[in-house]
Amino acid sequence: MGRGQGAAAAIAICAAFIFGCGRTPNHPAGYIQVDIETSPTSTDPRFATDAISSWVSELVFDSLVKVDRNGQFVGDLAGSIERPNDTTIIFRLKPGVRFSDGRELTSRDVKFTYDSILDPASMSLKRAGFAELKSIEAPDDSTIVMSTAHPFAPAMEMATQEIVPDGTPPPLYNEAPAPPGTGAFKMVRYARDDSAWLDRNPYRPVQADALLGIVFKIVPDPTVRALELAEGVCDVSENNIEAYVLPYLGAQPNVVVNESPGTRYQYLMLNFRNPQLRDVSVRRAIAYAIDRDAIANSFLRGTARVASGMLAPENWAYDGNVTKYSYDPAKARQLLDDAGYHAGADGMRDLTFIYKTTPEGARLAEVMQAMLRHVGIRVEIRSNEFATFYSDLQNGNFDLASSRWIGINDPYQYYLVFDSKMTPPRGINRGAYANAEMDALVEDGDRTIDPAKRRAIYARVQELAAQDLPYISLWWLQNVAVLNRDVTGFDPYPNGSLRSLATLKLIGPAGSEASQ
């Protein structure tokens, strides 16, 4: 073979590789691919507390109750719920429910699930969430009696724990596929950092044209998630696409961008350990100096609603009739002048705050920095990877920090973040906010079972939080789902739950293959 022929053969081999290999389908017909940014930390619902694990778990497991689109608790495995007194809840299971391995669900499974979490040897991350649970009993195969030591209004939140079969051992390692559940799907394969495969639970009735399964693919890079949607490799991606990419995706012929009200709450946290931030005038000046409308409309491309407090309008306890801080830099300057922080010749005051952020939040930090500079407040941004940022929040090593709460269902959250007893290391009142009236209100809210009385308590809590500003409320992020046009029936949940995936259908070529 001559030199020229050799070169031609090499080129032909390369071309055959490139064109011949082509793209292989990532999943079988009738399945959809959903891109998520990180792996679930555990596939066993007794051990995982992160949002992504919860979203996958909700499709594989059921719980006694679940949260509906209005943030209310409704029966899931429980056919009926009674509250005979302030410390007891009785659940009666729906008949005929089966796990994906064919076993019928009984109250023993429910009791086992809770007992195994409460067992100190299990070292379950969820144990702390059941601190108020006094006992859980299964007097017969279909009844569960949950008791708390004293009246505890958010007790129903504890009934959202997903149920595993009696006798399920703790996972030997954190890459084990999920145990059988009673949910719409069963997990058939899990490769951490790669994908989780769900097939239909054969013991759950479904419509003929329902999805056969879901592949959760772990795609850490946001740009790549957007490209996968544009290419049609990914079928659904929710709340993990950058706002600036949405116009590009919306222009793609095969993609639909679905926006709906969401409850993910973004806030600016102020550290009360800093004496200057203990001055309410300074906190209010910061609130007036931030143009949240402008940020929501331009920086976030309209994918956020300006927030009045932690609870979104979708929550039953929401009260929007609170003190609000619309953008008013003149008022901010006046407040600072009145508080004795006068501007120098350069327009800046003797106020310098350290703003801690992750690299992902750095651009927002820069926007805030520019707005606060406008009223004479200096902000130094310190950006660290998440674990360091998280550690700084826990240790109170910040002046300002922006973070986000996801999946707030019950106003009990106010106790966790604003009660002075919950200051770290005991809890998550990271800014060390302390107000006796707030403490009394949130503790009363936890003990009051009557929903009307509770609503009144939390109306006052919301007003007090708006006046006192332990957090400056920024916005509730919209739920932004980007879907392939071949996918239909997506009905989003305000809290970002992916439970709606269970009822999706495929239309077009993929759908006709699926129904064959």
Partner 1 sequence: MTRYFLRRLLALIPVAIGVATLTFAMIHLVPGDPIIAMLGETAAPSDIAEMRHRLGLDRPLGEQYLGFVGGLAKGDLGESISYRRSVASLIAERFPATLELTVAGILVGLLIAFPLGIISGTRPGGAGDIGAMGFAILGISIPHIYLGPLLMILFSLDLRWLPLTGRGGFSHLILPAVTLGTALAAIIARMLRQSLIVVRESDYMRTARGKGLSPMEAMVRHGLRNAMTPVVTLIGLQAGALLTGALITEVIFSWPGIGRLLISAISARDYPLVQGCVLTFALTYVVVNMATDLAYAMIDPRVRLD
Residues in contact with partner 1 by CB under 8 A are: 17-19, 21-24, 26, 38-39, 41, 49, 120, 123, 125, 127-129, 131, 171-175, 191-194, 217-221, 223-224, 227-228, 230-231, 233, 385-388, 390-392, 394-395, 397, 416, 424-428
CB of 219 to partner 1, least distance (A): 5
Distances in whole angstroms, Cα of residue 228 to Cα of each of 37, 221, 225, 245: 13, 11, 5, 12
Q: Which is nearer to partner 1, 124 or 478 (CB)?
A: 124
Containing 354, the helix (H) or strand (E) segment is strand 352-357
CB of 125 to partner 1, least distance (A): 5
CB of 260 to partner 1, least distance (A): 27
Measured from the CB atom, the residue of 36 and 78 that comes closer to partner 1 is 36
Q: How far is the CB of 271 from partner 1 (least distance, A)?
A: 16
Nearer to partner 1, 110 or 246 (CB): 246
Residue with Cβ nearer partner 1 (201 or 413): 413
DSSP alpha helix (H) spans, 278-428: 280-289, 292-294, 329-338, 362-373, 386-394, 413-418
Query: Which CB atom, from 217 or from 505, has the smaller least distance to partner 1?
Result: 217
Q: What angle do CA 315, 410, 55 make, to 5 degrees?
A: 90
CB count within 10 Å of CB 257 equals 18
Amino acid at 347: G
Query: Shortest Cβ distance from residue 388 to partner 1 (Å)?
Result: 5
Q: How far is the CB of 422 from partner 1 (least distance, A)?
A: 9
Q: Is 316 left (phi over 0), alpha (psi -120 to 50) or beta?
A: alpha
d(CA 399, CA 270): 6
Looking at beta carbons only, is 27 or 349 nearer to partner 1? 27
- Closest separation in Å from C-beta 14 to partner 1: 10
Nearest distance from C-beta of residue 210 to partner 1, angstroms: 26
Considering beta carbons, is residue 26 or 85 the nearer one to partner 1? Answer: 26
DSSP structural state of residue 170: P
CB of 355 to partner 1, least distance (A): 17
Report the alpha-carbon distance of residue 419 to residue 404 in Å, rounded: 18
Distances in Å between the alpha carbon of 290 and those of 273, 375, 478? 22, 10, 20
| Pairing mode of beta strands 185-191, 195-200 | antiparallel
Residue 338 or 385 having the CB closest to partner 1: 385
- Closest distance of CB 174 from partner 1, Å: 5
Distance, in Å, from the CA atom of 265 to the CA atom of 311, rounded to the nearest integer, reads 8
452: closest CA among 314, 311, 308, 317?
317
Query: Tokens standing for 349?
Result: 């005051």
What sign results for the dihedral spanned by CA atoms 375, 378, 383, 389? negative
Beta strands in 100-161 (DSSP E): 133-140, 143-148
> Pairing relation of β-strands 78-85 and 143-148?
unpaired
Closer to partner 1 by CB, 38 or 147: give it: 38
CB nearer to partner 1: give 90 or 118: 118
